[in-house]
Amino acid sequence: MRGTDRDADFSEFVAARQAHLRRIAYALCGDWHKADDLLQTSLTKLYVAWPRIRQQGGEEAYCRQIMVRANIDESRRPWRRERPTEDLPDHGAPQPTPVEERSALFDALQGLPEQQRKVVVLRHWLGLSVRETATELGINEGTVKSHSSRGLAALEAVLAPHR
């Protein structure tokens, strides 16, 4: 298919189906502005695959599939989980730990026995619960608690002089 034929066919398809596809996009995301963005993204991807899709037929079905997948991808983006609020925190984000202190912390972590180090990292750095940590490591919850307690005590003993 020559470039001019491709462009003409694609333009004809878009002109005929754009309003219908826009309504589908709105039904998927519930916002006209997002629907316009979703449709634009979908039509861009459709254009790239146009020669192959046009030969096989099913252009609209392919475009709908692109819209559904693009909408799912967009909803998974981290900024979509953010919600505006009028209540602002009293304080800013915590200041990052200075490099020297981070280095001392990593050195102290390496000094812990392997199982204690794993428990401390999973529980206190990654924020897993006792149950999740136990499942992750294949040990009892009580063992997680004791390793956590001993590991934190050892870290405190090593790091306290640095403060």
The CATH fold assigned to 3-79 is Rna Polymerase Sigma Factor; Chain: A (1.10.1740)
What CATH number matches the domain at 99-162, 3.90.1640.30, 2.30.110.10, 1.20.1740.10, 1.10.10.10? 1.10.10.10
pLDDT score at 47: 94
Measured CA to CA, the distance from residue 62 to residue 74 in angstroms comes to 18
pLDDT score at 10: 93
pLDDT score at 3: 63
The model's pTM is 0.47
Q: What is the CA radius of gyration of the chain?
A: 27
Domain boundaries, the chain: 3-79, 99-162
Instruction: Report yes or no: 120 and 109 within 8 Å, Cβ to Cβ.
Output: yes
Q: How many CB atoms lie within 10 A of CB 102?
A: 11
- The amino acid at residue 11 is S
pLDDT score at 104: 78
- Divide the 163 residues of the chain into consecutive groups of 10 and give the mean pLDDT of each group: 79 93 88 91 93 87 89 73 70 68 78 87 86 89 93 87 59
